[in-house]
């Protein structure tokens, strides 16, 4: 049984662990794993090759995805969808495993509706996929944010500066909140909680009046849609307080790096379970992690979840940062 495996959308550390597990466990189950390069683009173009257990040796410790990934607008068009279905038939793919975020899993849902046997796996550093407590890549991204904040704090202390650190999270403040709490930030700004520029400046100034000699403000990128660019916020703080302010945008640094033990384990568990479901003829679902256990969630119920910010943790960050 030929089983196509693809990684799609934004890369997330731990994707390689999932592919590795799917390939090696798949061979044990007498499946024939086929790696599809560049996600849905490779599915449309027929860019794929068979994978053996030896092909996935040494990949578990690497971030990114050795299958490569891409965002594929063509897959949203009737022509692209037709070509994808033709490729599946031509390459004799009897099942697909799709690893990616909400958009990628929406594509998996469409394929399943067309009669393609599909199993989905959640991978997104934003942790915004309905049906799972944690997605592949989240833990590594958080650890990367903390790693960066530790180093930024060194220079902030040395120069007695305010640092605004912008992290990913256009619609969700999850990374900003959890990373800021773990990294000891004085202030965290998230899309879910409205604040004014004046209030932020006053909080920073209040800390200095109490004897602080530096401050770190973690800003989720979604906040900039309301308050303007992070550099504008920095200028407002500078004008209101007279303090020296610097801006650091972590950007795609958060996507890379060797996966943490948690993401390697999660990816391995999900990848192995995916091929076990394929071998058992169970399709049409994403495998999520709920209360520590793997749980199938119908693809029809998978979408972007509104990650409710824990206001208690939000208040805790600001309380501990005073």
pLDDT value of residue 71: 87
Half-sphere exposure of residue 118, counting CA atoms within 13 Å on the CB side?
A: 27
User: In angstroms, rounded to a whole number, what is the distance separating the alpha carbons of residues 175 and 142?
Assistant: 6
Gap between the terminal Cα atoms of the chain: 60
pLDDT value of residue 83: 98
Flag whether pLDDT at 15 surpasses 90.
yes
pLDDT value of residue 240: 84
| Same domain membership, residue 87 and residue 13 | yes
pLDDT value of residue 226: 83
| Same domain membership, residue 245 and residue 293 | no
Which one of 70-79, 92-101, 153-162, 192-201 scores highest in mean pLDDT? 92-101
| Same domain membership, residue 82 and residue 48 | yes
| Same domain membership, residue 37 and residue 96 | yes
- Work out the pLDDT band at 310, boundaries 50, 70, 90: confident
Say which CATH number the domain at 249 has: 3.40.50.460
pLDDT value of residue 8: 96
User: In angstroms, rounded to a whole number, what is the distance separating the alpha carbons of residues 309 and 64?
Assistant: 28
Closest Cα partner for 70 from 50, 90, 100, 49? Answer: 100
The two tokens of residue 143 are 């650890």
- For residue range 96-123, list pLDDT tens digits in order: 999 999 999 999 999 999 999 999 999 9
Flag whether pLDDT at 185 surpasses 90.
yes
**Any domain includes 289:** yes
- For residue range 214-246, list pLDDT tens digits in order: 999 999 999 988 888 999 889 988 988 889 999
The pLDDT > 70 percentage for the chain reads 98
**Any domain includes 170:** yes
The answer to whether residues 215 and 163 touch, using CB atoms and an 8 Å cutoff, is: yes
Per annotation, catalytic residue among 11, 126, 128, 139: 126
Least confident of 71-75, 209-213, 305-309: 305-309
Per-chain mean pLDDT for the chain:
94
- Beta strands 32-36 and 48-50, pairing class: antiparallel
| Same domain membership, residue 243 and residue 147 | yes
- Total structural domains within the chain: 2
| Same domain membership, residue 283 and residue 147 | no
The two tokens of residue 52 are 């053996």
User: In angstroms, rounded to a whole number, what is the distance separating the alpha carbons of residues 244 and 266?
Assistant: 42
pLDDT value of residue 115: 97
Flag whether pLDDT at 202 surpasses 70.
yes
pLDDT value of residue 80: 96
pLDDT value of residue 228: 85
Mean pLDDT of 167-188: 93
**Any domain includes 114:** yes
Mean pLDDT of 262-285: 99
| Same domain membership, residue 144 and residue 243 | yes
pLDDT value of residue 224: 87
Q: Is 139 a catalytic residue?
A: no
Say which CATH number the domain at 100 has: 3.40.50.450
Flag whether pLDDT at 212 surpasses 90.
no
| Same domain membership, residue 216 and residue 155 | yes
Domain carrying residue 197? 140-255
Flag whether pLDDT at 322 surpasses 80.
no
The two tokens of residue 308 are 């409710």
pLDDT value of residue 262: 98
| Same domain membership, residue 113 and residue 244 | no
Flag whether pLDDT at 305 surpasses 80.
no
Least confident of 93-102, 189-198, 292-301: 189-198
| Same domain membership, residue 242 and residue 290 | no
């Amino acid at each position: 049984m030929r089983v196509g495996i693809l990684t799609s959308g934004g890369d997330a550390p731990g994707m390689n662990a999932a592919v590795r597990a799917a390939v090696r466990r798949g061979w044990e189950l007498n499946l024939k794993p086929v790696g599809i390069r560049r996600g849905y683009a490779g599915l449309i173009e027929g860019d794929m090759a068979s994978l053996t257990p030896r092909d996935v040796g040494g990949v578990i410790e690497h971030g990114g995805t050795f299958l490569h990934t891409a965002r594929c607008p063509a897959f949203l068009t009737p022509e692209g969808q037709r070509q994808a279905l033709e490729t599946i038939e031509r390459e004799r793919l009897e099942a697909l495993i799709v690893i990616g975020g909400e958009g990628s899993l929406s594509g998996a849902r469409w394929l399943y509706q067309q009669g393609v046997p599909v199993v989905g796996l959640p991978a997104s550093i934003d942790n915004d996929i309905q049906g799972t407590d944690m997605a592949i890549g989240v833990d590594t991204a958080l650890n990367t944010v903390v790693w960066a904040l530790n180093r930024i704090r060194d220079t902030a202390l040395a120069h007695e500066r305010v640092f605004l650190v912008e992290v990913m999270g256009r619609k969700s403040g999850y990374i900003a909140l959890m990373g800021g709490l773990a990294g000891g930030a004085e202030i965290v700004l998230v899309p879910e909680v409205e604040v004014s520029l004046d209030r932020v400046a006053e909080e920073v100034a209040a800390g200095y009046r109490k004897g602080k000699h530096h401050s770190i403000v973690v800003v989720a990128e979604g906040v900039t849609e309301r308050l303007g660019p992070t550099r504008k916020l920095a200028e407002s703080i500078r004008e209101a307080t007279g303090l020296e302010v610097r801006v650091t945008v972590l950007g795609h640094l958060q996507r890379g790096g060797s996966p943490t033990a948690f993401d390697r384990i999660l990816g391995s568990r999900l990848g192995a379970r995916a091929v076990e479901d394929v071998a058992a003829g169970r399709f049409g679902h994403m495998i999520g992690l709920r209360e520590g256990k793997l749980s199938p969630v119908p693809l029809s119920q998978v979408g972007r979840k509104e990650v409710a910010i824990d206001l208690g943790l939000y208040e805790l960050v600001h309380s501990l940062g005073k």
